[in-house]
A and B are shown apart, each in its own frame.
Chain A
Amino acid sequence: MSLAAGPPLVAWLLLAAALFCVGVYGVLTRKNLVAILLSVELMANAVNLNLVALGRYQGELLGQAVALFGMALTVAEVGVGLAIVILVHRRRQGIDVDELSGLSG
């Protein structure tokens, strides 16, 4: 497995960084809760891409193994998150974050 077979490491890292930034932008600007969760997913996938690329650069499988762990954890996390979003929807009949400002100060 050598990197010569594909694009250089830095290309993968930049792609992952771009994905991550799109995700961060989505988290910060989206009003819809489901869209925010999707953006967090996007960030998580950027991390997985990063791990696989760096693992391949190190010439071992550890990076891919960590990425698998990361996927499992993200699934568990998003599962709880969707449950909370459903709860919000039931209470408020909507999932727009701007309406959630009962607590402040």
Chain B
Amino acid sequence: MIPGIEALAVPLLVLAVALAVLVADLVVGEAGEAEAEHGPRRGVGALAAVGLLGALVATWWLPVGGEVLGGAFVLDPFALYMQRIMLLAGALGCLGSIDHVDRAFPGRQGEYFLLLLSSLLGMTVLAGARELVLLVVAFELMGIPLYALAALQKRQDAGVEGALKLYLTGAASSVVMLYGLSFLYGVTGTTSLPEIARGLAQGVDGGPLLALGLLLTLAGMGFKVGAVPFHMWVPDTYQGAPTPFVAFLSVGPKAAGFAAMVRLFVEGFGPLRDLWWPLILVLSVASMVLGSLMAIGQDHVKRLLAWSGISHIGLLLLAFGLASDQGLGLLLFYLAAYVPTNMGAFFVAQVVGRDGDDTLPAWQGLARRSPALGGVMLVFLLSLGGIPFAAGFWAKVLLFWAAWQAGMGAIVLLGASLAVLALFFYLRVARAMFIEGQGGQAPPVGLPTAAAILLCLLGVVGLGVWPRPFVDAAIAAAGALLGG
């Protein structure tokens, strides 16, 4: 028994669910070959979703503060908060995928969920990684299954093209990040982030090589989270890949990318904040502006959500750039609010676009055909736009307030005016749903998809009406990270 192994509880639970899925797929694969579609294979996805929800509940009984593997992995409050966000994203992603996977590639359900769980395993490790080697390995464990997942719809040209773009940018950015990290190691002489921070605090002078290393690492990570100017893959991949997978892709790796950035830049290179902080702000402003402007003209709702997602990345970068316990706490809360909001919107997009058409005309009259779907989508859109009493409102307002107090008035004004602009393109979808078009038959919604959408709705409304405990916990977690 490795001492302190309970710190690795969440990754181990995810691994256990992944192995259970693997075995279950083999068992039902033998039994249900003849009735591949709608057969017992559906149960594999349900097993994954229930297992992850169980793991999420179990995190409340975890002892916080342990570390394992010589301090390479730590379960501090920040890691735990991130892991909960990731588990939620994973569980919702599995639940919302069941119907689509059963329809699009019924014989390969086990593959899909196993790949998704492997990626999730990498993310949960990333949340607590304080070692450059572990960080790199976890990044790849997260990234490689995503390439395969994006390509699973192998008979669709758009899916293959999107997967290729995700792969090429992902592989190149991994190498760029690794090149940057090699300089960071070479200059500091260690791969342990706390030791790097200690060395820097004692006045180890990095010189230009350290700055180069930080720049390259930031560029590599910018690709992963999809910040401008490293965003080119985002809209194409979102449009081409299976929609429920995109729901997961649009939140999970983003949370993990920010977890890694916080670990690396705040925990490791915090003493050099003045060096990297302006770069983050540049990326933040560029992402906010370009994301919002490009979203305006989009007729594909998935592309629209992709560009709006890029503008949300800009806001998350702003929270990260504050690098205070307020800022990092709001980064956590923003992610917590963003997960149910964005995933819910993608799940509705999956239901509407199940025949492959996700342009605005396909959305026309949705509220008449299915008032429930139309109403739920409106809530998600309002939360994305930051209208009061949805989760996204508190995330935006608190973030702007914290940035204002930190003396970034200009960026707050820019962000606020872009938020008003954003309402325009979110409400364009609402207009198509509620005002345009004729009635007709409601699109069919499977039970697992309905459950996933309902959970997202609960999350959005719950965080919107009662944000306080979540915000306080997030700021306390960030405070513990900065203080320790």
Contacts and interface: CB of A to CB of B under 8 A. Distances in A.
Contact of B175 (A40, A60, A62, A105): A40
Interface stretch (B60-68, B181-189, B280-288): B181-189
A60 B136 CA distance: 20
Given A66-B182, A84-B164, A76 B147 contact: no
Interface string B415-430: 0000000000000000
Given A80-B144, A102-B157, A103-B158, A62 B185 contact: yes
A54 B182 contact: yes
A47 B144 CA distance: 19
Interface in A53-80: 53-55, 57-58, 60, 62-63, 65-66, 69-70, 73-74, 76-78, 80
Interface string A19-40: 0100100010000010011001
A84 B163 contact: yes
B157 A51 contact: no
B398 interface: no
Interface size class of B (residues with CB under 8 A): 35 or more
A54 B298 CA distance: 48
Given A50-B182, A87-B151, A58 B175 contact: no
A81 B171 contact: yes
Interface stretch (B233-241, B259-267, B309-317, B351-359): B233-241
Contacts of B158: 102-103
Contact of A69 (B136, B144, B164, B183): B136
A74 B186 CA distance: 20
A33 B165 CA distance: 11
Contacts of A50: 179, 182-183, 186
Contacts of A73: 136-137, 140, 174
Contacts of B143: 77
Contacts of A27: 168, 172
A91 B157 contact: yes
Interface in B98-144: 132-133, 136-137, 140, 143-144
A70 B133 CA distance: 9
Contacts of A83: 148, 151
A23 B175 CA distance: 10
Nearest to B298: A105
29 contacts: A33-B164, A37-B171, A40-B175, A43-B175, A43-B176, A47-B182, A50-B182, A50-B186, A51-B186, A53-B186, A63-B185, A69-B133, A69-B136, A69-B137, A70-B178, A78-B171, A80-B144, A80-B147, A80-B148, A84-B147, A84-B167, A87-B151, A91-B154, A100-B161, A103-B239, A104-B236, A105-B235, A105-B297, A105-B303
Given A50-B179, A63-B185, A91-B154, 7 more contacts: A50-B183, A66-B136, A77-B140, A77-B171, A80-B167, A85-B164, A103-B165
